[in-house]
């Protein structure tokens, strides 16, 4: 059974208890399988309707450029090489589609997020979110404005470099504390900031 099929089985059970539901996870499994680093972007909630988020991102000609930039950079960075932002822009489409996206709150959101509401929903759905992560098996989770919630849910306290953490719950995953892609900062600045934190982690690991 493919990971997508496993996720679909999980979501079928999950949505029975939810008044509205938007599936997420691996966007394109073929591209995911070919990626050197398996990266999940963990966000608060999806804005918009209840359509399967994976299909929306896979079918769109340029699905989510910022996630594409970030994933391209993280896929290609080493402790001595920094991929240029322009190169990331040129490759953002497939880079986005080779990632996975999880929203803590599966019901579509509104204009602004209620963090207390999202925390309470994620706390209730914690076991299902963990099952989703165990199916996907990422190596890296980029918390886009969600690290505070994740830190409470999974006791993420082991800092291994600046803004990079580990936890005993998912001992083979590293967590990066970062901002949401919609943060009001120039995209090239966000891109290089994320890569800076990950490169410091790579340097620490290789030293």
Q: What is the pLDDT of residues 96-150, one digit of tens each?
A: 999 999 999 998 766 566 899 999 999 999 999 999 999 999 999 999 999 999 9
What mean pLDDT is reported for the chain?
A: 93
Q: What is the pLDDT of residues 150-173, one digit of tens each?
A: 999 999 999 999 999 999 889 899
- 18 has pLDDT over 80: no
CB–CB of 25/88 below 8 Å?
no
Q: How far apart are CA 17 and CA 102, in angstroms?
A: 18
Q: How far apart are CA 142 and CA 40, in angstroms?
A: 6
pLDDT of residue 16: 87
Domain 3-206 has CATH 3.40.470.10: yes
pLDDT of residue 207: 67
- 181 has pLDDT over 60: yes
CA distances from 58 to 1, 121, 164 (A): 20, 27, 29
Q: Which of 106-115, 180-189, 190-199 has the lowest mean pLDDT?
A: 106-115
* Side-chain-facing half-sphere of 26: CA atoms under 13 Å: 23
Q: Which of 45-54, 65-74, 139-148 has the lowest mean pLDDT?
A: 45-54
CB–CB of 187/69 below 8 Å?
yes
């Amino acid at each position: 059974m493919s990971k997508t099929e496993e996720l679909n089985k999980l979501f079928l059970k999950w949505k029975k208890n939810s008044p509205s539901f938007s599936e997420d996870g691996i966007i394109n499994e073929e591209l995911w399988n070919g990626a050197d680093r398996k990266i999940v972007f963990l966000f608060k909630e999806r804005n918009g309707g209840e359509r399967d988020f994976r299909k929306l991102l896979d079918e769109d000609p340029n699905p989510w450029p910022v996630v594409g930039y970030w994933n391209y950079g993280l896929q290609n960075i080493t402790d001595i090489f920094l991929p240029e932002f322009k190169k990331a822009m040129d490759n953002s489409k497939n880079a986005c589609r080779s990632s996975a996206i999880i929203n803590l709150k599966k019901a579509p959101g509104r204009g602004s997020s209620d963090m207390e509401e999202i925390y309470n929903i994620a706390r209730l759905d914690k076991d299902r979110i963990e099952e989703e992560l165990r199916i996907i098996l990422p190596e890296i989770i980029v918390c886009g404005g969600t690290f505070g919630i994740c830190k409470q849910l999974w006791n993420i306290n082991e800092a291994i470099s600046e803004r990079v953490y580990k936890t005993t719950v998912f001992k083979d995953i590293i967590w990066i504390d970062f901002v949401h892609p919609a943060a009001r900062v120039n995209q090239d600045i966000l891109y290089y900031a994320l890569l800076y934190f990950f490169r410091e982690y790579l340097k620490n690991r290789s030293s």
